[in-house]
Structure 1
Amino acid sequence: MVTAKKTVLVAHPGAEMFGSDRMLLESVIGFVESGARVVVALPSRGLLDVALREAGAEVVIIPMLVLRKVLLTPKGLPRLFRDMFRGLGAAWRLIGSIRPDAVYVSTIIIPQWPIIARLRRTRSVSHVHEAEASGNRIVNALLYLPHLASQRTLVNSRFSLDTIRQALPALARRAAVVYNGVSSPDDPTPARKTVDGALRVLYVGRLSPRKGPDLIVDAASVLRSRGVDASVTLLGAVFDGYEWYEQQLREQAESTGVDVDFAGFHPDVWPFLADADVLIVPSRVDEPFGNTAVEGILALRPVIASDSSGLREAAGGYPTAQLVVPDDAGSIADALIRVRDEWERIVDETPESRAEALRRHAPAIYRSAVADAVIAD
């Protein structure tokens, strides 16, 4: 741990409270607990900004290049170049003004920070939260390449490490796996003893085709055809520009007759987990990890997740979690039937699953590991 006051500059690409944002907050808490001064650079204000200041960090808002797909189009190129040049200058000035002992770069979509830190002769650590093994290997290599400028790289799963190794072996050789730390209430609400009425199904996350919430609506429709009633809560919101997908989901719910509650985004997921019977993580594409799946297990709820990528590491090995064929509503429906049929057994085993999840993903262990990696003597 830190024996003298040091300064850590943290760069993060957003101010929401989704998976990588929550992990950034846990990292910052670890730095603060280690006795460091922590300055966090964000591109905008938001819920994360408030939480960071409550945790004891200083927050500055500066221009920043954040790689989004919309920027990699002909229409987006002018903004890409504008953000790149503005971000370069802002990062250079900020590092020069606070003279940090280390720069912690959260996610790969802010590629300028490791390079600027290297030019400023400042130690940097990149924390990779993204991995898509099915993506183009050359594109992946280009995304990872700037992070060779960092002295160390942290990744959130062995799947992420393998994906990096396939695209850019040199970066993988200096990378270490630190599993996400996931906070939870001390005394989560137990699952109900019996399933009376509709099976209450919960989805938590972005409303996007990649994440697959439409598969849950289809699965609930399959259950109805088998005489099993299910209600669905979709807890999350769309990215700007994806409003069409939410409208499509609403039309799907109406046409199938499935009871779907569009709950919107809420930073506190635990009341929704307390009201649910089962959590589903139906991602169609690779996930580097699966914080949401771990949250479901910590909440004493059965979990159904796609049998792919980092979700295997997040949800695998628990007696109350099932892995199903990705992009297959029928497989989700079958898993829901098993949950209903084996409800008493599953409820009895949820404390065992929670205890194992606490052991694997204790926030204190995560915070200490990240702080030790970033704040080197």
Structure 2
Amino acid sequence: MTSINDPLRVLVAHPSADLYGSDRVLLETVQALLERGDRVAVALPGPGPLVAELQGRGALVEYCPTPVLRRSLLSPAGLLRLSGESLRGFRAGLQVLRRYRPDALYVNTVTVPLWPLLGRLARVPTVTHVHEAERHTSRKQQLALALPLLLANSIVANSRFTADTLGHVLPALRGRARVVYNGVPGPASPPPARPALDGRLRVAYVGRLSHRKGVDVALDAVAQLRRRGVDASLDIVGAAVPGYEDYEQLLRHRVQKLGLGQDVVFHGFQPYPWDILAGADAAVVPSRLDESFGNTAVEAVLASRPLVASSVPGLREAAEGYASAQFAAPGDAAGMADALERIVTDWDRYRAAAALDAAAAVERHAPRRYRHSIAAAVAEAAGPRG
């Protein structure tokens, strides 16, 4: 009989090879397991920038076609495509499980619902980490994401709002999720914000380019500031969601329509946002819809920059208690412009508060705390093996 503290063979299932919020959290999870002495393999649907990061840490990477639940699949044609992808994914996933023979399966999102089923069929203890809280979607979509969690042995949620949402969607899940806040590595020594703004407020947005994320709201807010006589610019870091590239073109057209010209810069995807944030005076997270948490909000605080975020539950939870953070109603460009103007008007106070908040965020979101909690959750789910 082995003990709960003995090293494990862990298979991790993840829906993409990108390097956005949940992907970075995955890296912290993998690091936690490797530091515990576990052998870790990560099943990904294909190549991408995440692969080198995983392999550099010592994890194996298995390519495995995996159906990912998206709204576009919840149509007759989409469901037909999902059926075909599920059949291929089922076979490939079973092959990976048989080849790797893990002691535990860690599923890093509810958008790959096939994996909890595969874990149950293979009798592998399964931990599902929930990063989604989709209260704004239809009941059918919410249930499609939540039902596979009934097959998991253990559930981890990235916020109280996420855990509460699970119980709201499916009462059988109420109280089952363990809340573990994301570990967010910050810059080694963030440069302090400028002593004076010198006439221009430099604003940064970091994240996916999508209507849901509200990047156009940030553009409108900057345009409103300029109409009020407040000089401002916007740096946009991120790429469009695959299949929604037209949104980026709409943003570029809107820049020209608003007369922002050279005052808005599209930097594309950047694996690490710290240089952009270091050059900014403030950061915005203008999401239109529910967010389960807000890694980008935490990153702004860690970078010692005042933050303006949408007043949605996950973002409020991520930035609660920080004096340098303000909130505006989702989609409210005027409210976001008001908050940014307050930063300009009272720069010394917001600058000092941001420095204090950064120190607090380093402890609240320390990767070591996250790693300890996640490694414990996987080890407990696996249990002693005989």
Q: What is the match of residue 73 of structure 2?
A: 71
RMSD: 1.3
State how far apart, in whole Å, the 2-side matches of 1:271 and 1:171 are: 41
- TM-score, scaled to structure 2: 0.95
Kept in 2: contact 1:11–1:40 (CA 8 A): yes
Asked if 1:311 corresponds to 2:321, the answer is no
Asked if 1:13 corresponds to 2:15, the answer is yes
- What pairs with 1:261-300 in structure 2 (closer than 5 Å)? 261-300=265-304
Helix, strand or coil at the partner of 2:76: coil
Kept in 2: contact 1:12–1:107 (CA 8 A): yes
User: Which moves more between the two structures, 354-363 or 17-26?
Assistant: 354-363
Kept in 1: contact 2:7–2:36 (CA 8 A): no
Helix, strand or coil at the partner of 1:80: helix
Q: What is the match of residue 238 of structure 2?
A: 236
Specify the code of the residue in structure 2 equivalent to 1:339.
I
State how far apart, in whole Å, the 2-side matches of 1:134 and 1:335 are: 25
Q: What is the match of residue 250 of structure 2?
A: 248
Kept in 1: contact 2:286–2:330 (CA 8 A): yes
Kept in 2: contact 1:8–1:375 (CA 8 A): no
Q: What is the match of residue 113 of structure 1?
A: 115
Kept in 2: contact 1:137–1:166 (CA 8 A): no
State how far apart, in whole Å, the 2-side matches of 1:296 and 1:321 are: 9
Kept in 1: contact 2:5–2:379 (CA 8 A): no
Shift of residue 360, structure 1, vs aligned partner: 1.3
**Any gaps of 5 or more consecutive residues in structure 2?**
none
- What pairs with 1:1-377 in structure 2 (closer than 5 Å)? 3-258=5-260, 259-376=263-380, 377=383
User: Which moves more between the two structures, 3-12 or 99-108?
Assistant: 3-12
State how far apart, in whole Å, the 2-side matches of 1:125 and 1:257 are: 50
State how far apart, in whole Å, the 2-side matches of 1:129 and 1:290 are: 10
State how far apart, in whole Å, the 1-side matches of 2:175 and 2:187 are: 37
Helix, strand or coil at the partner of 1:76: helix
Specify the code of the residue in structure 1 equivalent to 2:368.
A
State how far apart, in whole Å, the 2-side matches of 1:71 and 1:285 are: 20
Specify the code of the residue in structure 2 equivalent to 1:216.
A
Shift of residue 93, structure 1, vs aligned partner: 1.5
State how far apart, in whole Å, the 2-side matches of 1:239 and 1:170 are: 33
Shift of residue 351, structure 1, vs aligned partner: 2.3
Task: Summarize deviations over 1:139-191 as a string: whole Å, max 9, x none.
Answer: 21221101111110000011111111110121232111000110012211111
User: Which moves more between the two structures, 148-157 or 232-241?
Assistant: 232-241
Q: In structure 2, do the counterparts of structure 1 residues 34 and 2 end up closer, same or farther at CA, with 3 Å as the change threshold?
A: farther
Specify the code of the residue in structure 2 equivalent to 1:295.
E
Task: Summarize deviations over 1:187-211 as a string: whole Å, max 9, x none.
Answer: 1111111001321010011111110
State how far apart, in whole Å, the 1-side matches of 2:272 and 2:188 are: 15
Q: Percent identity?
A: 50
**Any gaps of 5 or more consecutive residues in structure 1?**
none
Helix, strand or coil at the partner of 1:375: helix
Helix, strand or coil at the partner of 1:208: coil
State how far apart, in whole Å, the 2-side matches of 1:2 and 1:17 are: 31
Residues matched between the structures, number = 377
Helix, strand or coil at the partner of 1:188: coil
User: Which moves more between the two structures, 151-160 or 72-81?
Assistant: 72-81
State how far apart, in whole Å, the 2-side matches of 1:206 and 1:3 are: 39
State how far apart, in whole Å, the 2-side matches of 1:137 and 1:158 are: 20
Specify the code of the residue in structure 2 equivalent to 1:282.
P
Specify the code of the residue in structure 2 equivalent to 1:293.
A
State how far apart, in whole Å, the 2-side matches of 1:149 and 1:173 are: 15
Shift of residue 70, structure 1, vs aligned partner: 2.7
Helix, strand or coil at the partner of 2:242: coil
Specify the code of the residue in structure 2 equivalent to 1:174.
R
Shift of residue 2, structure 1, vs aligned partner: 6.2
Kept in 2: contact 1:211–1:282 (CA 8 A): yes
Kept in 2: contact 1:2–1:34 (CA 8 A): no
Specify the code of the residue in structure 1 equivalent to 2:47.
R
Kept in 2: contact 1:316–1:323 (CA 8 A): no
